[in-house]
Chain A
């Protein structure tokens, strides 16, 4: 439920890139990054290391161990290890694309709203209110119901959910920064507003933005894998961790690896991104949720 973290608006405060470095020095950020990189590594490199093709049959269904399949076979008799190694890439790519699209759009909207305030701010925020009026998953399911589960649609559905939530955070952070002298100075000199927004303001709010991005990424992963789990995301026979979990969970007690491996990978990845996000928020908030730094 890292989705709810959106509601806890990260305190504005003065933020600058050195905070990023400070965050990276924290133990938990480093642990988080390590966990993330481990799983991402498996997801990206895995497809090249598969002992069998992820769609080849190697044994009878749900064998806990079989010659050629050290971790057993799945619901159709395919190699669990191969499917696991190949099952993270699509999920990862879709999640990254959705996060970039959603956060990018949200940042633009939020920064512009926070910079200009007045009517533009009003209208933009009304718009985000309307989109925010949906639980994210309902919006995604609406789109899938119309178009069917397509990869581009999944990216779009997830991104549309991220944008307004990111916009809110970014707007709050922008409001805190916009009064500063160097912004005023740039305006006085006549720097065009896009340049101010994207070259001055955005870097200034990089810490809360990074915290938010990490959070959004974790949420993208959860969301895309949940959709696949429901049968409404990536479709069989594509090897995908969410699909694998759904296909193999019945045999959890006799052939557990088909479910446990992808579940563990998802867990480690989401926890890792959570730690990273937590690290960034601590630095930004200064007060570590009660423990004074």
Chain B
């Protein structure tokens, strides 16, 4: 028994250590790409001040629900209104937050979660085990599953046991080693029993003061926040900016103190301004092209493979990201310890692409590409791809939608489009986009063999074995999937030099994971 426990604890620790090691090694390689470091904190943090932030996108569909954020403004709000049991910090390391312990049993068939002492909600009520259970069940609700439902599909929705006021035992439907990882997602905010998104109560660093969909939301400091001294700011204002030029102009004109995404080609404009700072973070974010494997012409795998050979990845990084990013190889989760660095790097091969298209009977292909400025670099990438596709005889018709329109009724059913994804570990990412019940399966890829492998990997405790299984799954995806992952962009934001505390963040969520709780205005 002891050996098994030690084995488990060791393997869990070593898993975490490996992740840390990988990211440390990774960041050593990546520091070469780190341009424009953040301000060294100017003295000690001070209380006070009102931060006005411009966030990309937003529209009439803006919402405050802790568990269903879609757009970037939704995400920004969620990061500040709510807090989770655990988080991924700026080095993409798992870190406990509201929880003081999240541990699996020896056979990983159940997990124990214990909350910290003295953590409370905005209304002063203590966070208890009941709230944790309520949160889980709300997310898993079969009638209205939330963003993270698929990530914790192994949790038994009726298998929660309250061990004491702060402790919950979570029973699983099948064993899994990744619950802690899953809980760190930003759509996993702990909410009180009876939570009503129309009147949101959370435990994040800020409370809601006012909210107007499509316009702005205002937050005030929550004095009972558990992190010592945080938050420093009195008030935060989040303003929707569906228009790119308006966003950067607002920063340049001093109307906002920070913006979450600087269009990458415009970074020199910000760098040239001494009143502004650039926050440049290499991330595991990815901006794929998505091809629906069940819609012509992409239902023919040769077409998908051809498209992956059309793209010149280095040119993409150079032109769409102004050099701020790393090339990809059609597999996500670059920071995952099981990332397949042994797969041969795909390069542009127009001849092979043409040959594949000819075999598929599509030598003069015309397709519509739906793009939108919902993330920096997206529309630029679409335009660059349009040009690259010409040489393979593919005519791409660019349909540029407004940010508010892109996430409308037709979202997730565009035959050929793009997406914005943050850094995640491989299994969690697959759960969100590559499995039959994934909430955001843009490519509609539903390979049963792949799903089985993923299932198996989730249940595998041993790291090495897990990586082997994941490797097999990744090979399937690499050969047949619908994603064209050409690169991992840096996340580049900008803020006034009067603000300190932002740090480069590998998780991909802009502005240091919208961490307004940790920043302050200089003296």
Does A60 contact B319, Cβ atoms closer than 8 Å? yes
Query: Which of B155-163, B174-182, B259-267, B481-489 lies on the face that meets chain A?
Result: B259-267
- Which A residues are CB-close (under 8 A) to B463? none
Task: Say how far A245's CB is from chain B's closest CB, in angstroms.
Answer: 12
Task: Say how far B398's CB is from chain A's closest CB, in angstroms.
Answer: 7
- Which B residues are CB-close (under 8 A) to A237? 383, 386-387
Task: Say how far A205's CB is from chain B's closest CB, in angstroms.
Answer: 46
Tell which of A76, A231, A250 touches B380, judged by Cβ atoms closer than 8 Å. Answer: A76
- A75 contacts the other chain (CB 8 A): yes
- Provide the bound-state CA to CA distance between A4 and B248, in Å: 35
- A195 contacts the other chain (CB 8 A): no
- A57 contacts the other chain (CB 8 A): yes
- A151 contacts the other chain (CB 8 A): no
Contact A57-B318, Cβ < 8 Å, known A250-B248, A251-B266: yes
Does B387 contact A77, Cβ atoms closer than 8 Å? no
Task: Say how far A118's CB is from chain B's closest CB, in angstroms.
Answer: 52
Does A55 contact B387, Cβ atoms closer than 8 Å? yes
Per-residue interface assignment for chain B, residues 308 to 320, with 1 indicating a CB less than 8 Å from any chain A CB and 0 otherwise: 0000000100111
Of all chain A residues, the one with the shortest Cβ separation from B323 is A60
Per-residue interface assignment for chain A, residues 54 to 66, with 1 indicating a CB less than 8 Å from any chain B CB and 0 otherwise: 0111001110000
- Provide the bound-state CA to CA distance between A115 and B323, in Å: 67
- Which A residues are CB-close (under 8 A) to B263? 250
- A254 contacts the other chain (CB 8 A): yes
- Which B residues are CB-close (under 8 A) to A77? 265, 318-319
Tell which of B249, B269, B384 touches A76, judged by Cβ atoms closer than 8 Å. Answer: B384
Tell which of A60, A231, A236, A250 touches B269, judged by Cβ atoms closer than 8 Å. Answer: A250
- B408 contacts the other chain (CB 8 A): no
Tell which of A56, A75, A250 touches B249, judged by Cβ atoms closer than 8 Å. Answer: A250
Does A57 contact B245, Cβ atoms closer than 8 Å? no
Per-residue interface assignment for chain A, residues 91 to 117, with 1 indicating a CB less than 8 Å from any chain B CB and 0 otherwise: 000000000000000000000000000
Does B386 contact A76, Cβ atoms closer than 8 Å? no
- B228 contacts the other chain (CB 8 A): no
Which residues of chain B (282-333) have a CB below 8 Å from chain A? 315, 318-320, 322-323
- Provide the bound-state CA to CA distance between A48 and B299, in Å: 42
Does B387 contact A253, Cβ atoms closer than 8 Å? no
- Which B residues are CB-close (under 8 A) to A251? 265-266, 268-269
- B272 contacts the other chain (CB 8 A): yes
| Chain B interface SS verdict (over half) | helix
- Provide the bound-state CA to CA distance between A77 and B266, in Å: 12
Tell which of A55, A57, A236 touches B398, judged by Cβ atoms closer than 8 Å. Answer: A236
Of all chain A residues, the one with the shortest Cβ separation from B384 is A76
Does A75 contact B269, Cβ atoms closer than 8 Å? no
Q: How many residues from B make CB contacts under 8 Å with A?
A: 24
- Provide the bound-state CA to CA distance between A255 and B265, in Å: 11
Of all chain B residues, the one with the shortest Cβ separation from A63 is B268
- Which B residues are CB-close (under 8 A) to A62? 265-266, 268-269, 322
Does A236 contact B383, Cβ atoms closer than 8 Å? yes
Of all chain A residues, the one with the shortest Cβ separation from B268 is A254
Task: Say how far B493's CB is from chain A's closest CB, in angstroms.
Answer: 16
- Provide the bound-state CA to CA distance between A235 and B400, in Å: 10
- A249 contacts the other chain (CB 8 A): yes
Which residues of chain A (244-278) have a CB below 8 Å from chain B? 249-251, 253-255
Task: Say how far A269's CB is from chain B's closest CB, in angstroms.
Answer: 25
Q: How many residues from A make CB contacts under 8 Å with B?
A: 19
Of all chain B residues, the one with the shortest Cβ separation from A236 is B383
- Which B residues are CB-close (under 8 A) to A235? 398
Which residues of chain B (356-393) have a CB below 8 Å from chain A? 380, 383-384, 386-387
Does B322 contact A75, Cβ atoms closer than 8 Å? no
Does B387 contact A250, Cβ atoms closer than 8 Å? no
- Provide the bound-state CA to CA distance between A56 and B245, in Å: 24
Does A250 contact B383, Cβ atoms closer than 8 Å? no
- Which B residues are CB-close (under 8 A) to A254? 266, 268-269, 272
Of all chain B residues, the one with the shortest Cβ separation from A235 is B398
Task: Say how far B356's CB is from chain A's closest CB, in angstroms.
Answer: 24
Of all chain A residues, the one with the shortest Cβ separation from B244 is A250
- Which A residues are CB-close (under 8 A) to B319? 57, 60-61, 76-77
Does B323 contact A250, Cβ atoms closer than 8 Å? no
Which residues of chain B (208-257) have a CB below 8 Å from chain A? 244-245, 248-249
Which residues of chain A (133-157) have a CB below 8 Å from chain B? none
Does A61 contact B383, Cβ atoms closer than 8 Å? no
Of all chain A residues, the one with the shortest Cβ separation from B387 is A55
Contact A249-B245, Cβ < 8 Å, known A60-B322, A61-B264, A77-B318: yes
- Provide the bound-state CA to CA distance between A195 and B319, in Å: 61
Per-residue interface assignment for chain B, residues 399 to 432, with 1 indicating a CB less than 8 Å from any chain A CB and 0 otherwise: 0100000000000000000000000000000000
Per-residue interface assignment for chain A, residues 215 to 254, with 1 indicating a CB less than 8 Å from any chain B CB and 0 otherwise: 0000000000000000100011100000000000111011
- Which A residues are CB-close (under 8 A) to B400? 231
Task: Say how far B388's CB is from chain A's closest CB, in angstroms.
Answer: 10
- Which A residues are CB-close (under 8 A) to B323? 60
- Which A residues are CB-close (under 8 A) to B320? 76
Per-residue interface assignment for chain A, residues 39 to 61, with 1 indicating a CB less than 8 Å from any chain B CB and 0 otherwise: 00000000000000001110011
- Provide the bound-state CA to CA distance between A56 and B384, in Å: 10
- Provide the bound-state CA to CA distance between A250 and B386, in Å: 23
- Provide the bound-state CA to CA distance between A55 and B387, in Å: 7
Does B265 contact A57, Cβ atoms closer than 8 Å? no
- Provide the bound-state CA to CA distance between A77 and B319, in Å: 6
- Which B residues are CB-close (under 8 A) to A253? 269, 272
Tell which of B269, B272, B315 touches A57, judged by Cβ atoms closer than 8 Å. Answer: B315
Task: Say how far B391's CB is from chain A's closest CB, in angstroms.
Answer: 11
- Which A residues are CB-close (under 8 A) to B265? 60-62, 75-77, 251
Task: Say how far A233's CB is from chain B's closest CB, in angstroms.
Answer: 14
- Which B residues are CB-close (under 8 A) to A250? 244-245, 248-249, 263, 266, 269
> Considering residues B244, B248, B266, B315, which has the most beta carbons from chain A within 10 angstroms of its beta carbon?
B266
> Considering residues B263, B269, B319, B384, which has the most beta carbons from chain A within 10 angstroms of its beta carbon?
B319
- Which A residues are CB-close (under 8 A) to B315? 57
Does B398 contact A61, Cβ atoms closer than 8 Å? no
Instruction: List 7 additional contacts besides A77-B265, A251-B266, A254-B272; criterion CB under 8 Å.
Output: A60-B322, A62-B266, A235-B398, A250-B245, A250-B249, A250-B266, A253-B272
Q: 3 closest Cβ contacts across the A-B interface? A: A61-B265, A77-B319, A62-B265
Q: Footprint of B on A, CB under 8 Å?
A: 55-57, 60-62, 75-77, 231, 235-237, 249-251, 253-255
Complex A-B: 7 CB contacts under 8 Å: A61-B264, A76-B384, A231-B400, A236-B398, A250-B244, A251-B268, A251-B269
